Amino acid sequence: MKSLKLSVFRSLVATFAVVTFALIGSEVPAKEPIKIGFSMALTGGLAGGGKQALVAMEMWRDDINSKGGILGRPVQLKYYDDQTNAKNVPGIYAKLLDVDKVDFVVSGYGTNLIAPALPVVIQRELVFMGLFGMNNNKKWKYDKYFQIMPSGPDPAVGFSKAWFDTVMQLKPTPKSIAFVAADAEFAKNLKKGAVTNAKRLGLKITYNKNFKPGTPDFTPIIRAVNATNPDLFFVASYPPGSAGMTRAVSEVGTKVRGFGGGMVGLQFSGIMKGLGPKLNGVLNYDFYVPEPNMNIYPGVKSLLKRYQKVASARKVDPLGFYLAPWAYAYVQVLGDAINAVGKIDHAAIAKYIHATEFTTVVGKVKFGSNGEWAKERTIAVQWQNIKKKNDLQQFTQPGIRKIMAPAAFATGKIKPFNALR
Amino acid sequence: MSRNRFYIIIGALLVLSYLATHFVDNQYYFFAGFAILQLMVMALAWNILGGYVGYVNFGSAAFFGLGAYSAIVALNLFDASLFAQIITGGCFAALIGFGTGYLTLRLRGVYFAIATLALLVVSETLIVNWEFVGGAAGTYVLPKKNPTILGVLVVGKQNALFDNYKELLFFLMCLIALATIIICSLVENSKLGRGLAALRDSEEAAESMGVPTLRLKLFATTLSASIMGVTGGIFPYYMTFIDPLSAFNLDISVNALAMPLIGGTATWLGPVLGAVVLGTLQQIATVTISSEVNLLIVGLFLVAFVIFAPSGFLGLIEKYWKRGD
Amino acid sequence: MFSAELFLNAIVIGILLGGFYAALSIGLSISFGLLDIVNIAHPAFIILGAFVCFIFNSHYGFDPILIGIIFAPAFYVLGTLIYRIYYESFEKTGAEDLRGLAFFFGVMFIIEVILIMSFGVDFQMVQADYIDFKATFGVVDIPFRMFVPFVIAMIMTFGLQYFSSRTFFGRAMQAVAQDTLALRLMAIDPARIKRIAFGLSLATCSIAGALLVIVIPIEPSVGRLYIGQVFAIVVLGGLGSQSGTLIAAMLLGLVESMITTFFGPSWSPAVAFGALILVLAFKPTGILGRVGDTRG
């Protein structure tokens, strides 16, 4: 029986190996189109953003192809689902580069999905555009990495700068602050940067804890924070936590005058709609909102209109405010840079991107030496005037998310949290 | 097959894998190969406890992840080399396996299963909160440049054993996989293996015959856990970036369980087969169909095999082979 | 930092949370606790129920709990169907838990993928008037968002408890767990009893799903977060006892609430599961489990 097993074993493995690698290897790389490869979170925790980004990137591909493509060749996007699992990323990029023979690569969405790709691209000395990663380049100091989230040269700190600038305008000046963050990469990094900002401003920290991602009820946290009597409450959370905290603070109430900070997910349509008027008074970070002063983002309105037309058919976020403009921009920068340089030369392209101020769908983009934005442009917005429950359309109008900072964009003045509820 | 033929084939495969690293240029195959080999080793390790003894381990990812993170601790504290990391991973996971087993193996198998699940949650929570290893944000592992063993350059551009780290790691993984097959085969054919089989069929009967069931179960658990820890120990070097979400992911547990079930749990051949079949399919699906269909494949395969081929692939083959006789 | 208000509210929320967890686990207490079916897809069925609830709530505006109750019979039928497949493939042939487990793993993935393909991966919430309401007694707040699930959970638990001990089918369910042979000797088909029981277990998922989407925003893979918890609660409470499950759920809710309020939330999962491991080590039958039922 053992010999039977062995021969079966041998032939099966051999057959499988041959068939499989023949299948994979048999893709003949086409010479004509320019291929841009990437992994993207299409399932798993970050898929809400990943799918949004993909729609926007495909829109860019169609746009640039209608203008003649890159270097006169049509652009083809090649992507695979990383399932929001860092483990899948290196293999995906290896396949893209070695088997699919893509000409350029860009990143997936999120710090922990960008990180595993970096060693692969650094080894091959390729230009790499990053989509919403925080401090991925800190350790490597790679000169060909560029990141599109406008958090500035010191991302964790720059991210919350606008928020702090805003709350310090409250009268009387706040003296104390409480911090809460979800036990997840982005939220914790954000909180670290915010703590730095708070210390710089001399604020007293009365509470500083993390919560587990699956927490169903946040009222104990709100109560615990209230018991320490802070003037401000900075929350760094992912969508479930952001929704939960907002609801909890609605139920329990609070005396803090500034609430919010780094709550991811408040910009997602399902959550905006579900929370409705509970969002009034929350002061949060954002990148783009439909307010009048955002005219430095010239193409965004039309981009979002196009996006929204296809959104429901593609089962993605109906409004697309959060990620779509930036996903479009990060490939737009790459495309424009390649066209400007005139050939596929990664070193030259990287140099060009470092040296140039791009005009993109999100306005003027300039990168600093570490690949992050030279100057931060995270805005702080305060939710005001939300009147209807369960209505998504009201969020497409100006006057709901009033911009507080930076001053150049401001469309409103900060009001204390409870004054708006 | 005779023992000699067995060892010769193993040796030949090892040599083959080394040659492959020299003659195959395309790095992607090493990535895919590594991934499939990793699945294979996890499946083999799981089967030691699941197939031979009949105790279900839900928390394979815990031993894997703890192996990976203990390697990182060794790296951060002692600047440990790759080999030291692997050994640390194996030892630490063995310790945890022993502890878990000691606490719960006197009970019904289902309690052990739940305990392993609990272990997974506790481990992940602990690591997520531990800043020293990076916490939720993960941590980087930068491979040493030009490492040498006994004066021989292991990884380098010229005159080295391997051109780059991926080839070295692929070869190491082959080595681990083949070693695990040998271990499993030894266990199966030894007095230990017969004791385990007796235990699986009826624990009470075995005990009444004087089989030291608790000791055997503990041994199997510790062995299984340590192999999983070794697989975890090599993981940081391969990924160069590791975070708790990927190290403790549920899919590691699911695959470790699914592959022996699909391949067959009686001998080492089952997990190997299951890993090759399911692993290759998953690799193909990740880079062709992509997206949620990948999950669907695993789900459908599991359900189909478990319903229609309860002894796994091997059972199916034996059935049809017998018919042909 | 210790104050009466903080303490009292922590207790209240802990109890309400416990009720919520009980609602999630009660079905598993039947399928796993009584019938020994390791239904790891239990949370996935709850998510399925949650999405059904979301669809009807967002399109037609029906009350979420009402939807959960209306669809419970459909889930019951689904449960009996799945049990049929499970029985034909595994129990009849005497195969061990292993394959049943793998079967439900597969089912879990299939459900998740179907949900992703139908609804996408974005977070969804439901609307109901009482979700925002809260009652205040002195310094203690009772948010209805948690209170309503708590009440429903109590009704389900005591209803099932009553069913188990007072009705014929219920007692047959208990019997099937304790002594199948004796049952057969009384000319009752154990398979039929188990089918009804499993159907019931899935019916609770419909209601539990409605409660879930009231409490948190949902997306298809959210179920994975709860697998550990529901199994831990059932084991902690003792296999085979619905009231045990309730007590264990309460304990878990209280522990979580206390730790969150006074120590910091991020340690609560470790504490809960650490406690579970210890309980398994020293009193594996759990709180109200059948004594002497530890060896397989």
Query: What is the per-residue pLDDT for A198?
Result: 94
Residue pLDDT, tens place only, A64-80: 999 989 999 999 999 99
Q: Do C10 and A268 touch (CB under 8 A)?
A: no
What is chain C's length? 296
The CATH 3.40.50.2300 domain(s) of chain A lie at 34-150+300-366, 155-295+377-420
Would you say residue A2 has pLDDT above 60? no
Q: First CA to last CA across chain A, in angstroms? A: 77
Burial of C186 (C-beta count, 10 Å sphere; 0-12/13-18/19+)? exposed
Tokens describing residue A70: 């890159």
**Subunit contact B136:A188, Cβ cutoff 8 A:** yes
Higher pLDDT, C281 or C76: C76
Candidate from C117, C227, C296 with C-beta closest to B109: C296
* Percent of chain C residues past pLDDT 90, beyond the cut: 18
Residue A92's identity, in one-letter code, is: I
- The total of structural domains in chain B comes to 1
What are the start-end ranges of the H helices in A258-315? 269-275, 300-311
pLDDT at B65: 95
State how far residue B253 is from chain A, nearest Cα, in angstroms: 14
What phi, psi does C124 have (nearest 5°)?
-130, 150
Look up residue B122 and give its two tokens: 């506790």
CB C134 to CB A251 under 8 A? Answer: yes
Nearest by CB to residue C89, choosing from B292, B296, B307, is B307
Task: Report the candidate in A273, A193, A292 with the shortest Cα–Cα distance to residue A234.
Answer: A193
Q: In the predicted model, what is the mean pLDDT of residues C277-287?
A: 73
Residues of B in contact with A13 (CB under 8 A): 276
C136 close contact with A: CB closer than 8 A: no
Tokens of A228: 């320490």
Q: What is the pLDDT of residues C43-67, one digit of tens each?
A: 999 999 999 999 998 888 888 889 9
In a domain, B262, yes or no: no
Distance from CA of C144 to the nearest CA of B (A): 30
- Pull the structure tokens for residue C295: 């060896």
Task: Look at the domain A34-150+300-366 and name its fold.
Answer: Rossmann fold (3.40.50)
pLDDT score at A315: 81
Residue C210 has pLDDT above 60, yes or no: yes
Question: A183 and B128 in contact by Cβ < 8 A?
Answer: yes
Peptide bond into B271 cis (omega under 30): no
Over residues A249-301, the pLDDT tens digits come to 988 889 999 999 999 888 888 888 888 888 999 999 888 888 888 777 878 88
Kindly list the distances between the CA atom of residue C184 and the CA atoms of C175, C188, C197, C234, C293, in Å, as whole numbers in the listed order.
10, 5, 17, 27, 21
Does position C195 have pLDDT exceeding 80, yes or no? yes
Nearest CA of chain A to the CA of C215: how many Å?
A: 7
Say if CB A132 and CB A149 are below 8 A apart. Answer: yes
Helix (H, G, I), strand (E, B) or coil at B309: coil
Which tops the pLDDT comparison, A133 or C172?
A133
Quote the CA–CA distance of C214 and C65 in Å, as a whole number.
9
Question: Which tokens go with C25?
Answer: 């686990």
Verify whether the Cβ–Cβ distance A271 to C3 is below 8 Å.
no
Measured distance CA(B114)–CA(B109) in Å, rounded: 9
Q: Do C102 and B298 touch (CB under 8 A)?
A: no
Across the range C143-158, mean pLDDT stands at 86
Is C214:C149 a contact under the CB 8 Å cutoff? yes
Alpha-helix residue ranges (DSSP H) falling in A149-238: 155-167, 185-200, 219-226
pLDDT in tens, A373-400: 998 888 888 998 888 887 888 888 888 8
Residues of chain C in contact with residue B305, where contact means CB-CB under 8 angstroms, are 102
In a domain, B267, yes or no: no
What subunits make at least 3 CB pairs under 8 angstroms with B?
A, C
| pLDDT of A235 higher than 50 | yes
CATH of A155-295+377-420, one of 3.40.50.2300, 3.40.50.20, 3.40.1050.10, 3.40.50.970: 3.40.50.2300
C74 band by pLDDT with thresholds 50, 70 and 90: very high
* CB atoms A24 and B272 under 8 Å: no
Is the bond preceding A406 in cis, omega lying within 30 degrees of 0?
yes
Using CB atoms, which residue from A42, A44, A209 is nearest to C266? A209
Give the CATH number of the domain where residue B84 resides: 1.10.3470
C-alpha–C-alpha distance, residues C64 and A396, integer Å = 27
pLDDT at B183: 92
Q: Which among C99, C228, C284 is the nearest to B261, CB-wise?
A: C99
Q: What would the mean pLDDT of A416-421 be, rounded to a whole number?
A: 84
Helix (H) or strand (E) holding B228: helix B213-239
Residue type, A136: N
DSSP H helices, chain C, are 4-28, 42-60, 64-86, 97-119, 144-166, 168-178, 180-185, 190-215, 224-237, 242-262, 268-282
Q: Which of A198-207, A380-389, C187-196, C253-262 has the highest mean pLDDT?
A: A198-207
What's the confidence (pLDDT) of residue C290? 59
Distance to chain B for A78, nearest Cα, Å: 10
Bigger pLDDT: C154 vs B204: C154
- For residue C25, the model assigns a pLDDT of 92
CB-based burial label for B170 (10 Å; 0-12, 13-18, 19+): buried
| Among the ranges given (A147-156, B177-186, C157-166), the one the predictor scored with the smallest mean pLDDT | C157-166
**Is A13 a residue whose pLDDT tops 70?**
no
What integer pLDDT is reported at residue A320 of this predicted model? 87
- CA nearest B270 in A: which residue? A9
Most confident of A143-152, B190-199, B283-292, C7-16: A143-152
In a domain, B323, yes or no: no
Nearest-Cα residue of chain C relative to residue B250: C224
Contact criterion met (CB < 8 Å) for B129 and A183: yes
Closest chain C residue to the Cα of A314, Cα to Cα: C120
Residues in Cβ contact with A44 at an 8 Å cutoff, skipping those fewer than 6 apart: A82, A83, A84, A85, C121, C221
Question: Are β-strands A145-147 and A128-131 bridged in parallel, bridged antiparallel, or unpaired?
Answer: parallel
pLDDT at B24: 79
What percent helix, strand, coil does chain B show, rounded to 5? 75, 5, 20
Q: Which residues pair with A128 in a beta bridge?
A: A105, A145
Binary contact (C122, A214; C-beta < 8 A): no
Give DSSP secondary structure letters for C43-93. HHHHHHHHHHHHHHHHHH---HHHHHHHHHHHHHHHHHHHHHHHIIIIITT
Chain C contact partners (≥3 CB pairs within 8 A): A, B
The two structure tokens encoding residue C243 = 């009231």
Which residues on chain C are in Cβ contact (under 8 Å) with A217?
Answer: 13, 16-17, 20, 146, 215, 257
pLDDT at B325: 47
What is the spatial distance between Cα A361 and Cα A298, in angstroms, rounded to a whole number? Answer: 6
Say whether C296 sits in a helix, a strand or coil: coil
Instruction: Write down the pLDDT at residue A253.
Output: 86
The pLDDT profile of chain B, 325 residues, written as one tens digit per residue, is 577 888 888 888 888 888 887 787 778 888 888 999 999 999 999 999 888 887 888 889 999 999 999 999 998 888 888 888 999 999 999 999 999 888 877 777 777 877 888 888 888 888 888 888 888 778 888 777 777 776 666 777 666 777 778 888 898 999 999 999 999 999 988 888 888 888 777 777 777 887 788 888 899 999 999 999 999 999 998 888 888 888 998 888 888 988 888 888 888 988 999 899 888 888 887 777 655 676 777 778 878 887 887 777 777 777 777 765 4
* Helix, strand, or coil (residue C128): coil
Is the pLDDT at A25 greater than 70, yes or no? no
Confidence of residue C2 (pLDDT cuts 50, 70, 90): low
Q: Which of A2, A27, A185 to mutate to test the interface with B (most CBs of B within 10 A)?
A: A185
Mean pLDDT to the nearest integer, A345-369: 92
Please tell me the predicted confidence (pLDDT) of residue A5.
57
- Asked if residues A96 and A105 have their Cβ atoms less than 8 Å apart, the reply is yes
**C112 vs B contacts (CB less than 8 Å):** 295, 299
Chain B neighbours among C 113-142 (CB < 8 Å)? 113, 116-117
pLDDT for the residue numbered A16: 57
